[in-house]
Amino acid sequence: METTPIRRPLTCAIVDDEPLALNVLAEYCAQVPFLALKGQFREALAAVEFLQDNPVDIVFLDIHMPRLTGLQLARLLPVPAPRIIFTTAHAEYAAESYDLPALDYLLKPIRFERFVLATHRARAALAPVGAGATAEPAENLNDALFVRQDNRLRRVLVADLYYAEGQKEYLMLYTAAGKLLTLQSFRGLEELLPPGRFVRIHKSYLISLRHLEFVERTRVQVHGTSLPIGETYREAFLEHLRYHGRV
Segment of 131-135, 138-142, 154-158 carrying the highest mean pLDDT: 154-158
Is the peptide bond preceding residue 101 cis, with omega within 30 degrees of 0? Answer: yes
Segment of 50-64, 75-89, 231-245 carrying the highest mean pLDDT: 50-64
Confidence at residue 154, expressed as pLDDT on a 0 to 100 scale: 85
Confidence at residue 205, expressed as pLDDT on a 0 to 100 scale: 96
Sign for the CA dihedral angle at 158, 160, 161, 162 comes to positive
Angle between helices 112-125 and 19-31 (to 10 degrees): 60
Q: What is the mean pLDDT of residues 56-74?
A: 88
Confidence at residue 16, expressed as pLDDT on a 0 to 100 scale: 95
- pTM value is 0.54
Confidence at residue 101, expressed as pLDDT on a 0 to 100 scale: 60
Confidence at residue 135, expressed as pLDDT on a 0 to 100 scale: 41
A 10 A CB-CB count for 3 gives 5
- Higher-scoring residue by pLDDT: 133, 221: 221
Q: Report the range of poorest mean pLDDT among 38-42, 112-116, 141-145, 191-195.
A: 141-145
- Report strand pairing: 10-15 vs 58-62: parallel
What tens digit of pLDDT does each residue of 93-136 get? 554 544 556 788 888 889 888 898 888 888 888 876 443 344 44
CA distances from 157 to 38, 89, 221, 235 (A): 38, 29, 21, 29
Average pLDDT of the residues of the chain: 82
What tens digit of pLDDT does each residue of 15-31 get? 999 999 999 999 999 99
- Higher-scoring residue by pLDDT: 238, 205: 205
Q: Report the range of poorest mean pLDDT among 8-17, 44-53, 192-201, 234-243.
A: 234-243
What tens digit of pLDDT does each residue of 159-189 get? 999 999 999 889 999 999 999 999 888 888 8
Confidence at residue 62, expressed as pLDDT on a 0 to 100 scale: 92
